[in-house]
Structure 1
Amino acid sequence: MKLADIKNPVSTLPGIGPAAAKLFAKLNVFTVADLLTFYPKDYEDRTHRVAFSQFRQAKVHCAAVVTGHDWFGYGRMKTLKLLVSDGTMDAELVAFNRPFLEKQFPPDTLISVTGQFEIKYGRLQSTSFEISRLDDGTSGRTLADYENAALPDSGVLPVYPLTEGLNQKNVRKTIAAALREYGIGIENELPEYIIQSRRLLAKKDAVRLIHEPKSIAEAQEARRTLIYEELFRFQCVIARRAWEHKGAVPEPALTVTVPQGSMQPEQSVRETFAASLSPRQKELLARLPFPLTVDQQKVVMEMDADLDRGYTERAALIKNIAGGKRDAGQKPVFTMARLLQGDVGSGKTLAAFFVCLRVVDWKGQCAIMAPTELLARQHAESAARMLEPLGIRVAFLTGNVKASGRSQLLKQLKDGNVDIVIGTHALFSQQVQYNDLQLAVIDEQHRFGVLQRQAIIEKGRKIEGTSSYTLHLLMMSATPIPQTLALTVFGDLDVSVLRTMPAGRK
């Protein structure tokens, strides 16, 4: 079975009762799958001995003998000290809140000790240590007998994040039980040819070695396999999303592809641009008292091409279904997902208006979402001034719109009597319904969360037969967040850039 399919609660493992299960829940570990993917944050290498005399070089790990006991403090504050020696130095183990160690480790007991040591009050001391019994001192064995013998707690030990009430031994013991019971049956999640070509470990071996490595090299190899698998799954998700809105998976490339037409002479761009416009786009261009920059023209043509392709594929799907053709196996309808990047004043909003007009000419609705009411109102005023003379029906919707006018506005929006609605988060509220929302423009996209952007996208989702498609998405920003830039790198988001300013702007 796949690791994620092991849904058994951790309480089914031996030694895990309700109290221990609650402690693991604080670490977001609820199932056996959660436990086996609760990877170590570090490793402690105990494959080499470190004597008391080498305490400054590394964490001490050696065999020692208990030479006596000592106490300090009074009453409830009385604290035990175990006096020990490994033959190179004498040391003291300060056992706060552990008076029971006096009976467990009487004088002459041979022990294995691991811990951080320091010189304090003129003596070598440790207050954070682990000890285990090697011999009770009655067999006649000495430290010399353990000079070359392997200590019982030697090896590479995983170090996990903890919460109050859990210690490393508890977590290691529980994970070891999970590996014994479920580890053998874990199946590979990567294709076999990738495992072979990349020289990766099988999934069951990687999970086992990440928790129980015999060396640091094994832990690193397991980590490499699990990291590769995680990135592979991430790339699959990105490819699936690209398939959903592009109908194709982007090809990996190490070189930059220059968009077709981006190297055209300026005069040629202007001629191509003018000929490519829809009727209302031409009307807006004729009304402008200034020319568009070459970058604005190129950006508008790129987005127009996306919209036209999406509309054509959408119309073909609807026609096939209406004609009784099955849509099983149909490629997803292309939908634009594009980032428009440009400095403040570079003309992003005007480019977005042109794209909205293209959608309106395709008989669709547009929503322009801004993070603040002030910015949304500025966009609405600009749209009313520039687009309403063209017969475009523009509406303004925020949370502050009064109920009397709000209900009428929502009805007009649902009936398709609004072409472009501009507003804030209210655009994706539950009571807002659209007639045919085909384009969402998100300004200053870095100020909206992933779930907020997804909510407006779902407002435009349409279902035809067994196929579904969603709206076109245009995000605008002068300062894209790292997550958005990562999406452009991995092929899930196309990018258009306005590099030049309109005349008169700096």
Structure 2
Amino acid sequence: MRPSVLDPLFAPASSLPGIGPKLAGLLDTLLLPAGSQSGARVRDLLFHLPSGIVDRRRRAEIATAPEGTLVTLELRIDRHQPGATRAQPTRVFAHDETGEIALTYFRAQSAWLEKLLPAGETMIVSGKVEWFNGRPQMVHPDFVAPLAEAETLPLVEPVYPMTAGLSAKVLRKAIEAAQERSPELPQWLDPEMARRHAFPPVGEAVARLHAPRDPADIALDGPAWKRLAYDELLASQLALALSRQRMKKAPGRALGGDGARREAARAALPFALTEGQEKAVAEILADMGREERMLRLLQGDVGAGKTVVALMAMAAAAESGAQSALLAPTEILARQHHAGLSRWCEAAGLSIVLLTGRDSGRARAEKLQRIADGEVDIVVGTHALFQDDVAYHDLGLVVVDEQHRFGVHQRLSLTRKGRAPDLLVMTATPIPRTLVLAAFGDMDVSRLEGKPAGRKPIATVAVPMERMGDIVERARKAIEAGDKLYWVCPLVEESDKSELTAAQERFEHLRKVLGDVVGLVHGRMSGEEKDAAMADFKSGRTRIVVATTVIEVGVDVPDASIIVIEHAERFGLSQLHQLRGRVGRGDKASSCVLLYRGPLGETARARLEVIRDSEDGFRIAEEDLKLRGEGDLLGTRQSGMQAFRIASLADHAELMEIARDDARLTLTRDPELKSERGEALRVLLYLFGKDEAVRLLRAG
């Protein structure tokens, strides 16, 4: 049950005075993520923070008022001059000791204006002064009051992100009403920590942000904003730590035997492991050798050799007589993992089987029987691995590839098939440390630095779209020389909203020019069609494949040495880096051509410069976080990566580290959150919508 102290904050926004159905609908649009089922609540208004301020403290006189700057004038109103037609503005002339000014209003009713600015009165008027035909004017002043009421002038006012149809005045009134409803909340921060960071109490922080007296009051690095950001990060880290605690609670077991299978697997590899791989293998085997469950993230750049590390872990599980499941996000990737591992598994005496949603009938039944009987050491597949009818003989290790495609909440369900199996998660998306903590704060992390021996650098160039003809001609020469190319387009078909070249159109264009060596792969194809197209490309029946970003993750054609990315300015840095990683996998010198449509904005130019100058995925990811913010870094908002509404991972990185340590230490001392601070932290979890974490507590 949600603590009753929060009831006023979880009341619908429509329960506040003055908010009818129409306004409630506008607030839902403004305050809630797209597709949200519930309506906006009082809490959502409190957490809708200003994006800037209007500062009216600058007093001026007409003659010296700087143009285009917000100023406050003290004026004597002289006369009203209505426009000759409805289309012409009404001008209200006023003066001070230094000169005359026209206050200009379009489509205003005369009676209303005469009441607002009575002739003969001295008024306080605030707005931007502009010079028109050598004379000063102020169009639609944003604040007007009689001199006697000057004290009522809000000198500093917050400016909020808005939505069409909603006025700033109405939104401010709604936020004020929400503040009046706010209860006194318990203290969930460690008092010493709050003092060290000069964090105000939570109620005071909210009040200061909504009634700033100075730009510093709403600064992201100011005490009020940082206080609320820390609360949000702490709730998130506490939820992840509770998930970790729950997964660690189920008794694990030590896995790993005499090392014979691992040695056989090593002997089967045509290369020696890199230093980075050896280090990662050692960390993973140490975890597997303990009685408690492994929860580890293996982070490696494109082509760093994560699959081989996973193979060593799966061989160690097999030495204990346990099975491993390798879960991939797409069927193309699952088939590729199966093909890649099969040759090594055979040499190491490990049996491996592929299970996907495409298996049916007798073939599927036979595979399921072998898995249930324990005849299979490694099962590779998509989500089909965790359907109800799949029973394992003894599942000891679950390896998940590209975890961010699955999401945090699915980790628990992935490991319910076995007796508390170990969990190894792999990602080829280099993620900055703060984002690792946000998405994987419940896991230990191994980072695979460096590339396997023999990997060639990839020459990267940025070319404007106007030179498309040159690039097509270069592609023709490359194909004649025996090369294979990827050609990536951002969309499947032309849409009204976008002028991006569609993969279908580019495919037809290249086919006309280059002939039937051109293939096509996109997300709307069936699994069989994609497989057939990639098989043609691999075998050389086609030499160039036009693709959407379905080829972003893991597709492996070692003799493809050129990739052309159209509209490179539309992609994020990490995505460009992932796409570039499709080449440079064989022994040929490889290149990446970034086709862009100018003129480039500042961010797009910075992005292309970074990708041109660096192949270090971790550096690229850090730059991407600075350029784009966290929302899009892992592909999409639905990538299992939570979006924060107050905290900014680029600006509050150091708070994330502190929140993680705070959460873990708290649960070590008070695993069930029963202490006085523990009870207050339960309130925090509910306040930030982490109800699932509280359910984990109850489930024990």
| TM-score range normalised by the length of the shorter chain | 0.7 to 0.9
Give the 3-state SS of the residue equivalent to 1:40 in structure 2.
Answer: coil
> AA paired with 1:109?
E
Selected match of 2:295 from 336, 352, 355: 336
- Output the aligned Cα RMSD: 3.7
- Taking the aligned partners of 2:146 and 2:425, their CA distance within structure 1 comes to 69
2:436 corresponds in structure 1 to 486
> AA paired with 1:198?
H
> AA paired with 2:29?
K
1:40 aligns with 2:50: yes
1:56 corresponds in structure 2 to 67
Cα pair distance change 1:226/1:504, threshold 3 Å: closer
Structure exhibiting the larger radius of gyration computed from Cα positions: 1
2:22 corresponds in structure 1 to 19
- Taking the aligned partners of 1:166 and 1:5, their CA distance within structure 2 comes to 24
CA contact (8 A) 1:367 1:422 kept: yes
CA contact (8 A) 1:440 1:457 kept: no
> AA paired with 2:265?
L
2:195 corresponds in structure 1 to 196
1:85 corresponds in structure 2 to 95
- Taking the aligned partners of 1:5 and 1:306, their CA distance within structure 2 comes to 46
Cα pair distance change 1:92/1:496, threshold 3 Å: same
1:407-426 to 2 correspondence within 5 Å? Answer: 407-410=365-368, 412-413=370-371, 416-424=374-382, 426=384
Give the 3-state SS of the residue equivalent to 1:204 in structure 2.
Answer: helix
Selected match of 1:131 from 127, 131, 143: 143
Give the 3-state SS of the residue equivalent to 1:302 in structure 2.
Answer: helix
1:262 corresponds in structure 2 to none
1:118 aligns with 2:120: no
Selected match of 1:376 from 310, 318, 334: 334
- Taking the aligned partners of 1:122 and 1:412, their CA distance within structure 2 comes to 90
1:381 deviates by: 2.2
- Taking the aligned partners of 1:48 and 1:3, their CA distance within structure 2 comes to 41
CA contact (8 A) 2:76 2:120 kept: yes
1:171 corresponds in structure 2 to 171
> AA paired with 1:84?
A
> AA paired with 2:11?
N
1:200 deviates by: 2.0
CA contact (8 A) 2:126 2:144 kept: no
Give the 3-state SS of the residue equivalent to 1:60 in structure 2.
Answer: strand
1:68 corresponds in structure 2 to 79
1:232 deviates by: 3.8
* Structure-2-length-normalised TM-score: 0.54
- Taking the aligned partners of 1:386 and 1:463, their CA distance within structure 2 comes to 25
CA contact (8 A) 2:257 2:320 kept: no
CA contact (8 A) 2:257 2:316 kept: no
Unaligned runs of 5+ in 2: 33-39, 250-255, 457-586, 588-700
Unaligned runs of 5+ in 1: 136-145, 248-274, 314-333
- Taking the aligned partners of 2:198 and 2:107, their CA distance within structure 1 comes to 49
Cα pair distance change 1:383/1:118, threshold 3 Å: same
- Taking the aligned partners of 1:394 and 1:73, their CA distance within structure 2 comes to 87
1:23 deviates by: 1.6
> AA paired with 1:169?
K
Cα pair distance change 1:388/1:234, threshold 3 Å: same
> AA paired with 2:446?
V
More moved, 380-389 vs 488-497 = 488-497
1:356 deviates by: 0.7
1:306 deviates by: 0.9
> AA paired with 2:52?
D
1:472 aligns with 2:458: no
More moved, 87-96 vs 154-163 = 87-96
Give the 3-state SS of the residue equivalent to 2:379 in structure 1.
Answer: strand
> AA paired with 2:232?
E
Selected match of 1:460 from 393, 402, 415: 415
> AA paired with 1:154?
P
1:362 corresponds in structure 2 to 320
1:209 aligns with 2:168: no
1:495 corresponds in structure 2 to 446
CA contact (8 A) 1:433 1:459 kept: no
1:306 corresponds in structure 2 to 287
**Amino-acid identity (%):** 30
Cα pair distance change 1:289/1:25, threshold 3 Å: closer
Cα pair distance change 1:426/1:123, threshold 3 Å: farther
1:425 deviates by: 5.1
More moved, 60-69 vs 80-89 = 80-89
- Taking the aligned partners of 1:78 and 1:295, their CA distance within structure 2 comes to 73
Give the 3-state SS of the residue equivalent to 2:90 in structure 1.
Answer: strand
1:211 deviates by: 1.0
1:106 corresponds in structure 2 to 118
Give the 3-state SS of the residue equivalent to 1:102 in structure 2.
Answer: helix
- Taking the aligned partners of 1:463 and 1:372, their CA distance within structure 2 comes to 23
* Structure-1-length-normalised TM-score: 0.73
- Taking the aligned partners of 2:262 and 2:92, their CA distance within structure 1 comes to 87
Give the 3-state SS of the residue equivalent to 1:72 in structure 2.
Answer: coil
Give the 3-state SS of the residue equivalent to 2:312 in structure 1.
Answer: helix
Cα pair distance change 1:290/1:23, threshold 3 Å: closer
Cα pair distance change 1:237/1:454, threshold 3 Å: closer
Q: How many residues are treated as equivalent by the alignment?
A: 434
- Taking the aligned partners of 2:364 and 2:434, their CA distance within structure 1 comes to 34
CA contact (8 A) 2:58 2:70 kept: no
CA contact (8 A) 2:354 2:379 kept: yes
- Taking the aligned partners of 1:426 and 1:294, their CA distance within structure 2 comes to 35
1:87 deviates by: 3.6
1:355 deviates by: 0.9
Q: Deviations for 1:89-120, whole angstroms, at most 9, x for unmatched residues?
A: 42223322332533423322333222223223
- Taking the aligned partners of 1:390 and 1:88, their CA distance within structure 2 comes to 93
> AA paired with 2:294?
T
1:351 corresponds in structure 2 to 309
- Taking the aligned partners of 2:418 and 2:367, their CA distance within structure 1 comes to 25
